[in-house]
Structure 1
Amino acid sequence: MKSTISEVSQCIGQEVTIGAWLSNKRSSGKIAFLQLRDGTGFIQGVVVKNEVEEEVFQKAKSLSQETSLYVTGIVREDARSPFGYELQVKDIQVIHEAVDYPITPKEHGTEFLMDHRHLWLRSRKQHAVMKIRNEIIRATYEFFNQKGFVKIDPPILTGSAPEGTTELFHTKYFDEDAYLSQSGQLYMEAAAMAFGKVFSFGPTFRAEKSKTRRHLIEFWMIEPEMAFYEHEDSLKLQEQYVSYIVQSVLKNCQLELGRLERDTSKLENVQAPFPRITYDEAIELLHEKGFQDIEWGEDFGAPHETAIAEHFEKPVFITHYPAKIKPFYMQPDPNRPEVVLCADLIAPEGYGEIIGGSERIHDYDLLKKRLEEFHLSLDAYQWYLDLRKYGSVPHSGFGLGLERTVAWISGVEHVRETIPFPRLLNRLYP
């Protein structure tokens, strides 16, 4: 019967046929060991010369890397394998022979691997990272569905800039100007006024000319928005959500975390509640750590975030940033209007900000004033002002960057390995 590698645990002692690719092989005289993958996982196929037809054994020894096959054999338990099973091969049928596969088991440079990203995805490490990414996405839908959220899809083409920045990809929309979305947030606020609690999951684009290990030009965001949620309510939801996805990966991706040699003890500690410090306290902490150049009113860079994160064993919220360095829509602290009711969630181990969120301004006059201060077109944002005109309520939301979160949880150094086909400053291929 046909099976996949992920299903062989249900077929112990039975003969199965698996469609697979040969990722590697080795032989020692009378035994050939085939490293097989089928997309669902990896398994070792063992071909014993005395137990198969001579033709089958010779075929096994001559197979080239990434040749596609149908492999038939008996499923056996194998305590030595991280997967726990192996295949006692009886027959091999070649579907397509791969010749001169470019990514060999030797070391390759990053640029070479990125040029061959369409093939590099097949490797064990990349497979593990993508499976962890998939689990985070699955757990995200599960978490928000359980909490009664409705998924809403905001547009990718927009006529204005949610963050009010110039780092946008511009295009012509017939006879109008349009931009690739840098966030679905404003549209999610409109959806929250209709459905109460909503979330989106989709691509966003930032035309930042940055080459750091934390930045991509195109990345994916999870953006929840909640009516009748104040700042504190949002923080509690954020720490519940992050705890949930981390624990889901620990539960369902043990094999992948092991393949990446991830120190899971650090992830096991990620349980709500998370520590919190204010922007003021963060400035003091940085001064104590030797960052004398950072002054109140300046935004934090990667070294600052890393230094703050090193002070804690869990993700840490930095709250109450100065209003002048945050977007126009954030609610001022009523007790201290020069700061806003916002928070960035900084991941441990130097992975930086993974969530940015805030309570949103819900007063019409204040929002209009802020738009004018940021020199933004009132006409372009009239629909956004309407949300404060017809039944406005306190509301909050946040955005989680998927690729940085995958990098942190999986322990890989660079976000380019956490998205199937990364778009970087100097890379649009493949």
Structure 2
Amino acid sequence: MTTPFTIEHIADHVGQRVTVKGWLYASTHKGKLLFLRLRDGTGIAQAVAYRPEVGDELFDELVHLGQESSLIVTGTVKANDRAPGVPGGYEIGIEAVQVLQNAVDYPIGPKEYGIEFLMDNRHLWLRSSKQWAILRIRATIKRAIIDFFDSHGFLNIDTPIITPSAAEGTSTLFEVGYFDEKAYLAQTGQLYNEANIMAFGKVYCFGPTFRAEKAKTRRHLAEFWMVEPEIAFCDLDDLIALEEEFVSYVVQTTLRERAAELALLERDVTVLQNITPPFPRISYDEAIERIHAIREATTDPQLKEFLAIEWGDDFGSPHETELTKQFDRPVFVYGYPTAVKAFYMEPWPGRPEVCKSVDLLAPEGYGEIIGGSERMSDPDVLLAAIRRHELPEANYQWYIDLRRYGSVPHSGFGLGLERTVAWICGIDHIRQTSPFPRTLKRLTP
């Protein structure tokens, strides 16, 4: 009797007869031996056909199978330290094969391809081992995020994707038609979560968000997933403590559960093993001083140009990259200028030009993965900010109401899933962290 089987759990089936339903990833033919690398969605395993055992007819049929042919293979699992695979160290001795389709002229082979070709064929590129590993790691990170908040007393509440107004600035909105009204794709669920915490205390939303930034950098997508917790009776210090516990949990869970996939990506996990609390904390003021010192010390004229910055400017990628090189784990930068942050952030006591904001910058040049703040809790202060930003007051009356009826100090943050996946996987471009990324120049496939 055939045992239910997936390649992911091949180690549990040594000596057993199993059936693999999957696709041919690659093959090598050496005399009377044929080595097939099979993938079934959960892993990749080597299967070996020996001509005298399987017969000439089946052997010849298998030799002529094209890459990505679909087939059902039955055989016995054997331990073999030299056998490649994910996980490696095991192989299947082929006894029988049913070929469902012999795929011909699969367009992505082992040679090098340009990124535009691969993105045009994203629907097929997903099958390659590295893309497969990235998206399995993404799924684990996503589940770890949910597990963390569910186990810390947060309630998951869905927030609208279609909204009547901006939350993060009017210049990055995607406008959509909403019957006879103008509406937008949501930049964030935060404002709605501020209403939700007054009913539930601690909540989070986790879903797609949209930013119409005309950015071509390796850190930007037009559509991305973001988790946004919001907490009542929480100040900036409480928020920072939550963030470092949360990020550490996600990283350590991924290291534990996706070691094989990280190895396939050749990720240096020693950097990730360092991701434990506490994380260093520096003020925006100190960050500016550090950047000035780095700029003064460098002999690279291009870097010197990139690092030009004055107090009151927001950080760009070069600034964040150079800052994080000074630390062996993520670093918090807090107290940004009010002018470069969203309208709803609480002013710093005694310094109205600064707000109670905090960004978490990932090491190795991956930049901001979390942006958060303590929110304004005074209705008059919030109304003044809305007017200062020339936002339509009528659309924010409900938001101001939250401060009129039982207002409390409260805080929250947003973590971008794709940026976090890129950092943990150690990959260069964020587009590989999404199954079908949406960027400035790409809407298909």
> What corresponds to 1:74 in structure 2?
76
Structure 1 distance, partners of 2:413, 2:19, is 47
1:277 Cα deviation after fit: 0.6
Structure 1, gaps ≥5 residues long: none
**1:174-323 matched pairs, under 5 angstroms:** 174-290=179-295, 293-323=308-338
Structure 2 distance, partners of 1:408, 1:154, is 27
Structure 2, gaps ≥5 residues long: 296-303
**Count of residue pairs the alignment pairs up:** 430
Contact conserved, 1:18 with 1:72, CA < 8 A, in 2? yes
Contact conserved, 1:133 with 1:418, CA < 8 A, in 2? yes
1:363 to 361, 366, 378: 378
Structure 1 distance, partners of 2:80, 2:113, is 31
Structure 1 distance, partners of 2:171, 2:23, is 46
Structure 2 distance, partners of 1:23, 1:391, is 60
Q: Give the SS at the match of 2:403.
A: coil
Q: Deviations over 1:155-198 (max 9, x none)?
A: 10000001133211111211111000111110111111111111
Code of the aligned partner of 1:10: D
1:399 Cα deviation after fit: 0.2
Structure 2 distance, partners of 1:293, 1:68, is 55
**1:397-412 matched pairs, under 5 angstroms:** 397-412=412-427
2:363 to 333, 348, 353: 348
> What corresponds to 1:62 in structure 2?
64
Q: Deviations over 1:82-125 (max 9, x none)?
A: 52321111111001221111111111111100000000000000
Structure 1 distance, partners of 2:193, 2:77, is 50
Structure 2 distance, partners of 1:62, 1:52, is 15
1:139 Cα deviation after fit: 0.6
Code of the aligned partner of 2:208: P
Code of the aligned partner of 1:323: T
TM-score scaled by length of structure 2: 0.95
Matched, 1:118 2:123: yes
Code of the aligned partner of 2:122: R
1:4 Cα deviation after fit: 1.5
1:19 to 18, 21, 39: 21
1:296 Cα deviation after fit: 0.5
TM-score scaled by length of structure 1: 0.98
**1:40-55 matched pairs, under 5 angstroms:** 40-55=42-57
Q: CA RMSD in A?
A: 1.0
Structure 2 distance, partners of 1:104, 1:325, is 47
Structure 2 distance, partners of 1:392, 1:55, is 78
Give the stretch that moved more between structures: 331-340 or 174-183: 331-340
Structure 1 distance, partners of 2:27, 2:90, is 17
1:10 Cα deviation after fit: 2.2
> What corresponds to 1:378 in structure 2?
393
> What corresponds to 1:425 in structure 2?
440
1:138 to 143, 147, 169: 143
Structure 1 distance, partners of 2:90, 2:148, is 32
Contact conserved, 1:164 with 1:376, CA < 8 A, in 2? no
> What corresponds to 2:172 in structure 1?
167
1:50 Cα deviation after fit: 2.3
Contact conserved, 1:329 with 1:361, CA < 8 A, in 2? yes
> What corresponds to 1:334 in structure 2?
349
Structure 2 distance, partners of 1:84, 1:197, is 46
Q: Deviations over 1:115-145 (max 9, x none)?
A: 0000000000000100110110011111111
1:32 to 31, 34, 39: 34
Structure 1 distance, partners of 2:10, 2:218, is 38
Code of the aligned partner of 1:146: S
Q: Give the SS at the match of 2:23.
A: strand
Q: Give the SS at the match of 2:207.
A: strand
Identity in percent: 57
1:393 Cα deviation after fit: 0.8
